[in-house]
Amino acid sequence: MAIKLFIVDDHYMVIEGIHSLLAEEPGVEWLGHAGNADSCLAFLQQQLPDVILMDISMPGMSGIELCKLVREKYPSVYIIGLSTFNQQSYIQKMMDNGASGYLLKNATKDELVKALQTVAAGKLYLSDDVANVLRNSDENAIPVITRREKEILELIADGMTNGEIAAHLFISVSTVDTHRKNLLAKFDSKNIASLIKVAMQMQLI
């Protein structure tokens, strides 16, 4: 039986490219595409594909969030993340949210077909590039930070001092200082400059 495929990507050229690549492929049935999360969710109420190819960066709700939502509502639908760069932060979040695979947009037709078949069979598919990034993720693992810490991290990045943040959140300067210290420790940074740099590289800001 053919694999029923749906695509969510806001880049028309990519959709057209995949469509064209798979047009001659007998084992794949093209159900359609969506340009954003809402269209995708609307489509799923009508019809369920076997596999969704999902871009991680989209306007509005990101693929990361959409992936979680879809997997909760429709556990039978497998998801393959799709993006241009292999940053561990993205891949990690996508896999944590229930994706079954991850493809880079420079993948070949063979990789694409293999990924679809592997994932449709209920297995995980990661290209070599992507797997390597995840393998080295021990050293570059994204620190687990709390809601409050993230909130304060963002205020710091906006240029606010401890005093300003304290006033803004109606808490004491000491508390802000503690959060700041915990952030530095979690990111293994010795000052705010490198903290901000690393946090931004990890897409946390």
Partner DNA sequence: AAAAAAATCATGTAAAAAGGGGAGTGCAAC
Partner DNA sequence: GTTGCACTCCCCTTTTTACATGATTTTTTT
Q: Which residues bind a second copy (CB under 8 A)?
A: 10-21, 35, 57, 84, 105-109, 112, 156-159, 161, 189-194, 196-197, 200-201, 205
Q: Which long-range contacts (CB under 8 A, 24 or more apart) does 101-109 make?
A: 101/125, 101/126, 102/126, 102/127, 102/130, 103/53, 103/127, 103/130, 104/129, 104/130, 105/14, 109/21
Which pair of structure tokens corresponds to residue 98? 């229930």
- Which of 136, 172, 201, 203 binds DNA (CB under 7 A)? It is 172
Find, among 173, 170, 171, 192, the residue nearest to 183 by Cα.
192
For residue 180, the minimal CB distance to DNA (Å) is: 5
Find, among 23, 72, 74, 24, the residue nearest to 51 by Cα.
74
Stretch that binds DNA, among 1-9, 64-72, 135-143, 191-199 (CB under 7 A): 191-199
For residue 17, the minimal CB distance to DNA (Å) is: 41
Task: Pick left, alpha or beta for residue 170 (phi over 0 → left; psi -120 to 50 → alpha; otherwise beta).
Answer: left
Instruction: Select from DNA, a second copy, none the partner in contact with residue 16, using the beta carbon and a kind-dependent cut-off of 5 to 8 Å.
Output: a second copy
- Which of 149, 154, 157, 198 binds DNA (CB under 7 A)? It is 149
> Does 72 interact with DNA (rule: CB under 7 A)?
no
Contact positions with DNA (CB under 7 A) in 78-107: none
Whether 10 and 53 have beta carbons less than 8 Å apart is answered as: no
Instruction: Select from a second copy, DNA, none the partner in contact with residue 107, using the beta carbon and a kind-dependent cut-off of 5 to 8 Å.
Output: a second copy
Question: In the complex, which residues of this chain contact DNA (CB under 7 A)?
Answer: 144, 146-149, 156, 161-163, 169, 171-175, 177-181, 184, 190-193
